[in-house]
Chain A
């Protein structure tokens, strides 16, 4: 085989402004403050006559905010579309980017999109919107993006993979600015499905804890502007990749094969990041697999957390939402406690963050793993001029 000659990219990719629409707030800063104060999004909800702990956005608040901030009729959009439009609008309105510029792109990441259209047939919403590219088109048209959106649907790595794809397109000088939005809703479809797999926790989830019993689901839309322009105090997407376990479609490799492979690729020369924002779903197998992969890469002593204890698993939004937190943690010199963690619960002991505090960091590793055996990792670095 050909010897690998590293191709140095034309450009670098930087994270600019962002947004999170979640039960903890409708802006990045509100979410970051809420999480630093230890607030969590999960509550007891009833879906299809069954009680679930889930992180769900208040419907009236969503509709009222949508009406007042967009002057559009909330009945013409689905729940997911409203979340996404509010999220993208916040990013666009706080930037100088032009949606009509050929050098601007919109990438949409989701696992199930408007899956609630299978359940409640709202009359004025076209049934076509069940198709993920139709959903992306609705959002794209709203902002008049001139380029067709790219839609990534690759299970729970979708959001992080969308960021990796954006990074590659920017490095290749195909675009100047890319907005990546990740979103999923909590639905009877996903709740009943994860419940059928016995993967749901009946209480608030406890990532990496000895007494963890499964995931909570959460809904969110998160957006981030990825640009080729470097700014002061801005985070660079240094490296990123994906890999498949080639082991099982609905469970991780016991030895963390795919994730370990990603870590080897994104952390050159055994580089040790300041902290890790792990996938940490709070299932027995996921958290155990991550501890093994981190240990194989020599990362077992690095500060690590999971944000699933605040938001639940937001599926296609998770990689974007959690990357927004990585960037804010680096910029605001904070490390965030892994909510729900009390006692070591993996066979390899990890250095799980138990207290949110001020700490200066310059690099952070973000990881994700999902059904279909997929894994992804990204290294972020704070560039301080």
Chain B
């Protein structure tokens, strides 16, 4: 058994890609939240809670959706031994700023609950009933080595890891999630498997 990347999603420059295939694209003048809401509609997601979420959670929910709606991934891996390992630069800063503007007037509880980086982890976990390990790392830029290293450690005791980078501010958003799992190296399907190593992760991130 070896660790392979089975699926990945990228959101960057107002484009959505799944496994290297362009799924949707918007004008670059469209702001990140509007673009994410366009994607939501185009995927026919019926999940009204989406509209209550902050930008970071919206970004994470959409990236995870494309990966986990695939039956080969959704049904083959036990949710209790699937970990979620995420990272970004901004933590929840966009929502922190929005919340801090409400402090002197009426502090908003619905904004405050999103002022933690790992709320998006919770949102993904709830939507897909994933109860495994969690970790959220803050890095100045995408760090394939760190994610690869920690994922490899987790896969010693767990079956799969949903992993990646979710970063958002007013002007841009960048999402890259990928799903790593143990696979039989002799499996016929392995032609579609991407070996889990930092170089491959970086390539997929750069799309």
Contact = CB atoms under 8 A, between A and B. Distances in A.
A137 to B, nearest CB: 8
Interface residues of A, number: 56
A248 B132 contact: no
A249 interface: yes
Contacts of A155: 116, 118-119
A182 B74 CA distance: 36
B131 A371 contact: no
Interface in B138-163: 138-140, 146, 149-150, 153, 156-157, 159
Contacts of B132: 243-244
Given A246-B125, A372-B121, A165 B100 contact: no
Interface string A171-198: 0101000000000000011001111110
A271 interface: no
A241 B157 CA distance: 10
Nearest to B120: A372
B59 to A, nearest CB: 15
A133 B116 contact: no
B22 interface: no
A244 B113 contact: no
B50 interface: no
B90 interface: yes
Contacts of A7: 156-157
A151 interface: yes
Interface stretch (B6-14, B37-45, B91-99): B91-99
Contacts of B30: none
A314 interface: no
A36 interface: no
Interface string A8-20: 0000000000000
Given A154-B117, A195-B107, A243-B132, 17 more contacts: A48-B103, A111-B116, A119-B100, A131-B90, A151-B139, A155-B116, A189-B99, A193-B115, A196-B107, A242-B133, A244-B134, A248-B126, A249-B126, A370-B118, A371-B113, A372-B120, A372-B125
